[in-house]
Amino acid sequence: MAKINCIIIEDEPLATKILSDYILQVPFLELQASFKNALLATEYLRSNSTDLIFLDIHLPKLKGMDFLKTLSRPPAVIVTTAYYQYAVEGFDLNVTDYLLKPFGFERFLVAVGKVKTGGNESPKLNEIEGKKDFIFINIQKKKVKISFSEIVYIESQREYIKIVTTGKQYVPKMSTHEIESLLPANLFKRIHRSFIVSVSKIESYTAEIIEVNGASIPIGREYRGTIENL
């Protein structure tokens, strides 16, 4: 399978990390570099080529759309932004897709699939299944590998989360939204503002609670539809 080379232009470290993690999970994508502003990317592109740019709009020094206008022969571009009002201008500049933050992995797949197939179809899920079955989490100045198959549930604890696995517990400093963006949506479901559970670990459930590995987890009222669709 031919690789699609790509770069990230994004000034938010967390957004860059999420995009990098998504890219690593897709076999046909190859991340070349990431840049905090468009001027650095411009310097890079003077002597290097790329197939795809993940481009934020609100960048320091040179805005994303203004940068895009400077490219005489732009590669495929996927805009990533929290501001929906720029969508029309983006499509006027022939961007491939427009990802509104925060976006999940499945939506990311749809966007990169348009680049891969020329906009005709999305990548098949079996192209990424088995590619990555773990994550690395920062815990006490170390990156700890945690397999998806070992995670039972995740609980929010203010600025920290508690990751409960079949063997032990971890308490990294991050939000449930951050960890949720790194987990496969088909394997993990948010069932409460404070809880994410592993679908494979669910033993039973009622309208109000889910039992996973002997633990009872409350179901938020707004998340009951998630459980009904399991």
Domain count, the chain: 2
Q: What is the pLDDT of residues 8-57, one digit of tens each?
A: 999 999 999 999 999 999 999 999 999 999 999 999 999 999 999 999 98
For residue 67, the surrounding DSSP H or E stretch is: helix 64-70
Q: Are strands 169-170 and 52-56 parallel, antiparallel or unpaired?
A: unpaired
- pLDDT band at residue 91 under the 50/70/90 scheme: low
Q: What is the mean pLDDT of residues 85-89?
A: 56
DSSP strand pairing (76-81 vs 52-56):
parallel
Is pLDDT above 70 for 145?
yes
Where a domain ends, among 127, 146, 163? 127
Say if residue 207's pLDDT is above 90. Answer: no
- Find how far residue 112's CA is from the centre of its chain: 12
Instruction: Give the integer Cα–Cα distance in Å for 214 and 224.
Output: 20
89: enclosing H helix or E strand: helix 87-92
Structure tokens, 71:
């490219």
Rounded to whole angstroms, the Cα distance separating 193 from 45 reads 42
Does residue 80 sit in the same domain as residue 141?
no
Residues 61 and 95 in one domain: yes
- CA 69 to each of CA 50, 90, 173: distance values in angstroms, whole numbers, following the listed order: 17, 10, 39
Q: 123 and 14 in one domain? A: yes
Q: What mean pLDDT is predicted for residues 124-144?
A: 68
**Residue 207 forms beta bridges with which residues?**
none
Which structural domain range is residue 201 located in? 134-228
Asked if 160 and 59 sit in the same domain, the reply is no
Summarize pLDDT for 60-82 with one digit per residue, the tens. Answer: 889 888 898 898 888 999 998 87
**pLDDT band with cut points at 50, 70 and 90 for residue 132:** low
Q: Choose one of 127, 157, 186: the last residue of a domain.
A: 127
Same domain, 151 and 194: yes
Q: Are residues 115 and 164 in the same domain?
A: no
Query: Three-state DSSP class for 39?
Result: helix
Q: In whole angstroms, what is the distance from residue 91 CA to residue 87 CA?
A: 6
143 and 213 belong to one structural domain: yes
Report how far residue 101's alpha carbon sits from residue 80's, in angstroms, rounded to the nearest whole number. Answer: 7
pLDDT of residue 97: 87
Backbone angles phi, psi at 7, to 5 degrees: -130, 160
